Structure 1
Amino acid sequence: MQLRHVESFLAVVEEGQFARAASRLFLSPPAVTGHVRQLERELGTPLLHRSPVSLTPAGLRFLPHAQAMVTAANAASTAVKDLRGTRETVIRVGVMAPGAAELTPAILRAFVHAQPRTHLTVEGLGFTDFLSAVVEHRVDVAFVRPAPEDERVVTDTLTLEPRILLTLAAGEFAGAEGVRLDDVLDLPYVRLPEATPRLLSDYGSFAKARNGMDVRWGVGLATSAQDLMTSVAAGWGVAGTLHSLGRYYRAPGTCAIPVVDAPWEASALVSRRDDPRPEIQAFRDLAVTLARDPELSRLRPPAPPGC
Structure 2
Amino acid sequence: MDLRLLSSFLAVVEEGHFARAAARLFLSPPAVTQHVRRLESDLGTRLLTRSSPVVPTPAGERLAGHARALLQAADAAVDDVCELVEAGRPGSRRKPQRPLRVGIMGHGSAELTPAAINAYRRARPEVPVRIRQLDFTEHATALVEDRVDVAFVRPVPGDERVRADVLTTEQRIVAVHARTSLADAAATGATLADVAELPFFRVPGHTPRPFTEYLYFGQVGDGAGRRSADCAVTPQEVLTGVVTGRAAGSGLKSFARYYAWPGAVFVPVLDAPWESSYLAVRAGDDDAEVRIFRALTLALVRDAGQYLAPDPGVVTGGARAADVRR
TM-score range, shorter chain: 0.5 to 0.7
Q: For residues 236 and 224 of structure 2, what CA distance do their matches in structure 1 show? A: 25
Q: Give 2:261's aligned amino acid.
A: A
Indicate the residue corresponding to 1:268 in structure 2: 278
4+ aligned runs moved over 4 Å, structure 1:
none
Deviations 1:121-165 (A, max 9, x none): 101110112311110001111111112232101101110010001
Deviation at 1:175, TM superposition (A): 2.3
1:190 aligns with 2:239: no
Indicate the residue corresponding to 2:288 in structure 1: 278
Q: For residues 211 and 136 of structure 1, what CA distance do their matches in structure 2 show? A: 27
Q: Give 1:282's aligned amino acid.
A: I
Deviations 1:222-243 (A, max 9, x none): 1111111111111122122111
Q: Secondary structure at the match of 2:108?
A: coil
Q: For residues 185 and 174 of structure 1, what CA distance do their matches in structure 2 show? A: 15
Q: For residues 244 and 223 of structure 2, what CA distance do their matches in structure 1 show? A: 26
Q: Secondary structure at the match of 1:237?
A: coil
Contact kept, 8 Å, 1:163 with 1:262, in 2: the verdict is: yes
Q: Give 1:94's aligned amino acid.
A: G
Task: Report the TM-score, using the length of structure 2 for normalisation.
Answer: 0.62
Q: For residues 101 and 268 of structure 1, what CA distance do their matches in structure 2 show? A: 11
Deviation at 1:91, TM superposition (A): 0.8
Aligned sequence identity (%): 41
Of residues 127, 137, 145, the one that matches 1:136 is 145
Q: Give 2:118's aligned amino acid.
A: R
Q: For residues 296 and 110 of structure 1, what CA distance do their matches in structure 2 show? A: 17
Indicate the residue corresponding to 1:203 in structure 2: 214
Q: For residues 219 and 88 of structure 1, what CA distance do their matches in structure 2 show? A: 46
Determine which structure has more spread, i.e. the larger CA radius of gyration: 1
Contact kept, 8 Å, 1:230 with 1:251, in 2: the verdict is: no
Deviation at 1:100, TM superposition (A): 0.6
Contact kept, 8 Å, 2:176 with 2:247, in 1: the verdict is: yes
1:15-94 alignment to 2 at 5 Å?
88-94=97-103
State the aligned residue count.
213
Q: Which runs of 5+ in 2 are unaligned?
A: 1-94, 309-326
Indicate the residue corresponding to 2:112 in structure 1: 103
Q: Secondary structure at the match of 1:165?
A: strand
1:165 aligns with 2:174: yes
Q: For residues 157 and 297 of structure 1, what CA distance do their matches in structure 2 show? A: 10
Deviation at 1:116, TM superposition (A): 1.1
1:204-243 alignment to 2 at 5 Å?
204-207=215-218, 213-243=223-253
Q: Give 1:109's aligned amino acid.
A: N
Q: Give 1:145's aligned amino acid.
A: R
Task: Report the TM-score, using the length of structure 1 for normalisation.
Answer: 0.65
Deviation at 1:282, TM superposition (A): 1.3
Q: Secondary structure at the match of 1:287?
A: helix
Deviations 1:5-51 (A, max 9, x none): xxxxxxxxxxxxxxxxxxxxxxxxxxxxxxxxxxxxxxxxxxxxxxx
After superposition, the CA RMSD in angstroms is 2.1
Deviations 1:26-82 (A, max 9, x none): xxxxxxxxxxxxxxxxxxxxxxxxxxxxxxxxxxxxxxxxxxxxxxxxxxxxxxxxx
Deviations 1:158-199 (A, max 9, x none): 100100011011101232121011111122111111121111
